[in-house]
Structure 1
Amino acid sequence: MIMFQPHVYATVFILSILQAFALDSYIAAVYEHSVILPNVTGRPVSSEEALTLMNKNMGVLEGAIKAAAQQGAHIIVTPEDGIYGWVFKRDTIFPYLEDIPDPQVNWIPCTDPERFAPAAVQERLSCMARNNSIYVVANIGDKKPCNSSDPKCPSNGHYQYNTNVVFDSKGKLVARYHKYNLFMSETQFDSPKEPEIVTFNTSFGKFGIFTCFDILFHDPAVTLVSKLHVDTVLFPTAWMNVLPHLTAIEFHSAWAMGMGVNLLAADTHNTSLAMTGSGIYAPDGPRAFHYNMETEDGHLLVAELSSLPRLSPTYPSAVNWSAYATSVKQFSPDDHNFSGVIFFDKFTFTELTKPEGNRTVCQKDLCCHFSYRMTEKQEDDVYVLGAFDGLHVVEGEYYLQICTLLKCKSTDLKTCGEPVATAHTRFEEFSLSGTFGTSYVFPEVLLSGVQLAPGEFQVLSDGRLISQSGTSKPVLTVTLFGRWYEKDPP
């Protein structure tokens, strides 16, 4: 006789309930928050002062959460650093931190606030979720005590983590994630010893979560999708836009397409640091996005997504990213190639000198092919095709293979690769492909005014990024952004 343990029965029962009430689609929300920042004093404030500031920000977030719930949203994502900002050192951020327990403790802070007190921030977030019957995703700071027996224990006796928390529609803490890939300025936080792979199940799909800079690395980002097969990734971020390839809406929408997953990206809003760009992205394109460098206002996005995108009829087919490019000969000789720099990386460029044609440019093992026909070509709009195959080593170390068509800042070819936000030339059609050595390639199309082009391009199974009917606005860049994770430094 086979004996089943009670917890096995419980697990089967819970999964059966989730399947019975599973939703084919759900309403997602993200809020781009203009954070109320603390005064830079250079000294730690009291815990009371810290909580006063955090309550101001949570008051704004609560308004967005209520508005999202009133529009039927099942889940809302708020930004990284959205409750206290980022102007901290290790000691000055400490009063803002709480000890966040493992979600396995089965805790609803809203109804049992003293169980892991002091936890005023967790209590309020939990009540926001419970009172509005909505999943709430927020980014706060976690502190974990350590002692001298741990050789890596910081001098203040605490590890400090940049942390995402998720509260379900009853207010229960269901997920906690400590950011693994810290950005270079995040000296106030520690990185966990190993990357945490955090998922949770709902009646509207399986979710994974990570934070900002994590998206450029294999762990935990790729592992969540390729091994744990999450349906949707939750992504609080404080993303500083870098043209031409790394603006928030551009790269995040491309990552969702390249990975074949929903992505809910909530960015911090601060135009002085070029922080803006939030979106609700599906594998076949964005459902809603926001980019605003004109004002300091927050912004709520709400849109519908498939709960199980892999079962959707619009789910993209598998792509062999090098199939087409390796089957064709080079379109043009390389005797007119020149070098230029994009975000500190040395690209090889070739100019598009005619209003239509075919061009090839190569660097190391990567050859990029581009076929095109322009319309409304402006004399002062200069476009180049570029290739980069190498290790990026500035704010982090990661290996890139990039094929890109981009507009130069001026008619001087030395400006090619510098940030530019406007263009005047439209393309009636184009096709971009490359001989990639990696299967992780993210397709980007960015239009004048830093806007996306939903429905105006597609990726073919042979690795071509094409547009056959033109774009609605002039083109800034058409890019295949490849990440070769196996070539990253250990």
Structure 2
Amino acid sequence: MPPYFVNIIAGILLGIRLQATVIRASDIKDPYFVAGVVEFRPDFIGLTTEQLVAKHTDAYTEILSSAEALDTDIVVFPESTLNNEFKPTYVPAAEDAIIPCLLANQSSRYENFLIALSCAARTNRKYVVINLTEKEDCASNAAFDPRPCATNGLNTYNTNVVFDREGRVISRYRKVNIYLERKNTTYQPEFAIFDTDFGVRFAHFICFDLLFYTPAEELVVKYGIKNIIFTAMFYSETPFLTAVQLQQSWAWGNNVTLLAAGGSYPRSGATGSGIYAGSDGSLASIMVGNTGVRQIHVARVPKFDQESSQKSVPVKPFTEDTTQPQTGISLLRDPQLDNFESELLDLNSSSAISLELCTEELCCTLSAETTTSERSYGNGTATSVYYYRFGVFTGLRSYQKEQYSAVAICAIYACTNDTVSSCGLLHPANIKITPTYAFKRLNISGSYKKAERLLLMPNTLDLSLYPLEPAQVAWHRVDNGKSFEAAIELKATADNLLAFGIYGNYYDSSVALRYGGSLAVLLSTLVLWLGLYVIDFLHLRMNM
């Protein structure tokens, strides 16, 4: 008998009190809750669809019942690591208050893996967030969606599902921003919000959504949600959009709690999970190389005081030895780097540097002081260094087809030599990095025109592909009437930077047009599309 059938039976026979004497659920009066995010490596080679789904389900249930997960109130699994389009399932709407686990012995329209995970949530007394491929009969939704249906009569969605401690489906979200997937979108965007018995209100969305106003930023700005759940199979891009870097930057820029669970297949570029406490930084985070992992990362997460929007207890930032370069991850490169207004930093001529660079509507300043460095990074036989450019960019940032954002960036970023084309690239693993100089002082500032849809974020990255923590960085954003004055400052000497600056996402296309989308930008966008189709092929391989 497959193990996930055992979990179904256990959920029915043992019910909701199986571990009541062991698990201590956080109380509504507690100043924190306990969260777990799972970095999960999917199987996909040499397996039938049935075998793949069964193995993933068994692995999910093992993680939920593990000692590491014992005290968690909520556990989040990543995107695209459970089932696929060849084994979709119906998912009940939250308003139906259905517990799939209780339907195991009945003729059910729900697949066994959905029932098994409902039972696992019920047995282990946890809120559980999963991502799956959902199917829906077009006829059942015809009154709300006038668009033509597929010939098989089904809509197929990339969907998050939330179970409560009883195994009840209490929230369902269908992805709005599709990343080169053969999936449907809903006729109107969905905003998924749910409440918990430990007094925290969450919203959740999926991967590519993070880069757009709807639903991600809108949930924070319009709905006032301070606790966000993010499921992802995210393909990292240097120098500004690697996974953990973006997760922490977004959480810090919005000053929200973020629970981010990432699919773990580094050789195709997918890795990155973490738990972030807004401006207090990372409570746990992971970027892995090579073959990926299946690990749960747990942290006590301070609750926001709903009246003051400030955390009710102090946070001790998560610390980890991240001094070595990260390897074994396939990385994209931001093609817009070729269109930055940039200047190569001369770290040899003087210990003090002062620069100003401008585009049509954004001027940025850099002030820095260097000191000598005698450290080295990596274990390669040959040695080299990174060069640095100070760059400014305002314009369209495309991700795929017609989906884009208007971005405004002030930053330094690493290059493997003195050419623009080498920027955003990393030295190979057999190269030992031996920096001659370190940044003793570094400050970057810019005056950003105000807009209704604008997110300003501190953006940093070091050789380990982790961002710097708030103990190492000071971040300032001041409302100056018609503009925001933003500044990021280094608080500790650093000789291992890959990026350091301010990342502004204006979201709105009308702002993008004012920021001058040039022919060069559009041509580089076409190059990016071709690269993304290659990544999409790998993504589809993983889901076969």
8 A contact 1:428–1:469 mirrored in 2? yes
8 A contact 2:385–2:434 mirrored in 1? no
Residues in 2 aligned to 1:367 and 1:68: alpha-carbon distance in whole angstroms: 52
Correspondence 1:222-261 to 2 at 5 A: 222-261=217-256
Q: Secondary structure at the match of 1:296?
A: coil
State the Cα RMSD in Å: 2.7
Pair 296,412 (structure 1): closer, same or farther in 2 beyond 3 Å: same
Q: Which residue of 2 aligns with 1:386?
A: 391
Pair 231,406 (structure 1): closer, same or farther in 2 beyond 3 Å: same
**One-letter amino acid of the counterpart of residue 252, structure 1:** Q
- Structure 1 residue runs without a partner (length 5+): 1-17, 41-48, 86-92, 317-340
Q: Which residue of 2 aligns with 1:75?
A: 74
Q: Please point out which of 78, 88, 98 is paired with 2:89.
A: 98
1:349 aligns with 2:342: yes
1:477 aligns with 2:521: no
Q: Which residue of 2 aligns with 1:59?
A: 58
8 A contact 1:76–1:135 mirrored in 2? yes
Q: Please point out which of 184, 187, 193 is paired with 2:187.
A: 193
Correspondence 1:365-404 to 2 at 5 A: 365-376=361-372, 380-395=385-400, 396-404=403-411
1:303 aligns with 2:299: yes
**One-letter amino acid of the counterpart of residue 110, structure 2:** P
Q: Please point out which of 21, 29, 34 is paired with 1:27.
A: 34
Correspondence 1:175-324 to 2 at 5 A: 175-184=171-180, 186-187=181-182, 189-202=183-196, 203-284=198-279, 285-308=281-304, 310-312=309-311
Q: CA deviation at 1:179?
A: 0.2
Q: CA deviation at 1:444?
A: 1.4
**One-letter amino acid of the counterpart of residue 392, structure 1:** R
Pair 151,281 (structure 1): closer, same or farther in 2 beyond 3 Å: closer
1:432 aligns with 2:477: no
8 A contact 2:26–2:34 mirrored in 1? no
Q: CA deviation at 1:27?
A: 1.0
**One-letter amino acid of the counterpart of residue 118, structure 1:** Y
1:453 aligns with 2:461: no
Pair 157,419 (structure 1): closer, same or farther in 2 beyond 3 Å: farther
Q: CA deviation at 1:420?
A: 5.7
Residues in 2 aligned to 1:102 and 1:487: alpha-carbon distance in whole angstroms: 34
Q: How many residues align?
A: 430
Q: CA deviation at 1:314?
A: 7.9
**One-letter amino acid of the counterpart of residue 452, structure 1:** P
**One-letter amino acid of the counterpart of residue 489, structure 2:** I
Q: Secondary structure at the match of 2:53?
A: helix
Quick one: percent identity of the two aligned structures?
Answer: 26
Q: Summarize deviations over 1:71-90 as a string: whole Å, max 9, x none.
A: 411111111001136xxxxx
**One-letter amino acid of the counterpart of residue 211, structure 1:** I
Moved over 6 A (4+): 313-316
Q: Secondary structure at the match of 1:100?
A: coil
Residues in 2 aligned to 1:133 and 1:343: alpha-carbon distance in whole angstroms: 46
Q: Larger deviation: 169-178 or 117-126? A: 117-126
Q: Which residue of 2 aligns with 1:416?
A: 423
8 A contact 2:134–2:159 mirrored in 1? yes
Q: CA deviation at 1:19?
A: 13
Q: CA deviation at 1:313?
A: 6.2
Correspondence 1:88-127 to 2 at 5 A: 93=85, 95-113=86-104, 114=106, 116-127=108-119
Q: Which residue of 2 aligns with 1:141?
A: 133
Pair 122,347 (structure 1): closer, same or farther in 2 beyond 3 Å: same
**One-letter amino acid of the counterpart of residue 131, structure 2:** N
Residues in 1 aligned to 2:502 and 2:46: alpha-carbon distance in whole angstroms: 42
Q: CA deviation at 1:39?
A: 5.2
Pair 381,50 (structure 1): closer, same or farther in 2 beyond 3 Å: closer
Pair 178,384 (structure 1): closer, same or farther in 2 beyond 3 Å: same
Residues in 2 aligned to 1:297 and 1:417: alpha-carbon distance in whole angstroms: 26
Q: CA deviation at 1:315?
A: 9.2
Q: Secondary structure at the match of 1:370?
A: strand
**One-letter amino acid of the counterpart of residue 301, structure 1:** H
Residues in 2 aligned to 1:363 and 1:342: alpha-carbon distance in whole angstroms: 18
8 A contact 1:420–1:476 mirrored in 2? no
Residues in 1 aligned to 2:426 and 2:312: alpha-carbon distance in whole angstroms: 37
Residues in 2 aligned to 1:19 and 1:35: alpha-carbon distance in whole angstroms: 31
Q: Which residue of 2 aligns with 1:128?
A: 120
**One-letter amino acid of the counterpart of residue 226, structure 1:** V
TM score, norm. by length of structure 1: 0.81
Q: CA deviation at 1:419?
A: 4.8
Residues in 1 aligned to 2:434 and 2:285: alpha-carbon distance in whole angstroms: 21
Pair 394,213 (structure 1): closer, same or farther in 2 beyond 3 Å: closer
Pair 34,20 (structure 1): closer, same or farther in 2 beyond 3 Å: closer
Q: CA deviation at 1:294?
A: 3.5
**One-letter amino acid of the counterpart of residue 485, structure 1:** Y
8 A contact 2:98–2:168 mirrored in 1? yes
Pair 359,394 (structure 1): closer, same or farther in 2 beyond 3 Å: same
TM score, norm. by length of structure 2: 0.74
Q: Which residue of 2 aligns with 1:326?
A: none
8 A contact 1:37–1:84 mirrored in 2? no
8 A contact 1:36–1:84 mirrored in 2? no
Pair 419,180 (structure 1): closer, same or farther in 2 beyond 3 Å: farther
**One-letter amino acid of the counterpart of residue 74, structure 2:** I
- Structure 2 residue runs without a partner (length 5+): 1-24, 316-332, 375-383, 479-485, 514-544
Q: Which residue of 2 aligns with 1:170?
A: 166
Residues in 2 aligned to 1:377 and 1:20: alpha-carbon distance in whole angstroms: 50
Residues in 1 aligned to 2:310 and 2:113: alpha-carbon distance in whole angstroms: 38
Q: CA deviation at 1:34?
A: 0.6
Q: Secondary structure at the match of 2:209?
A: helix
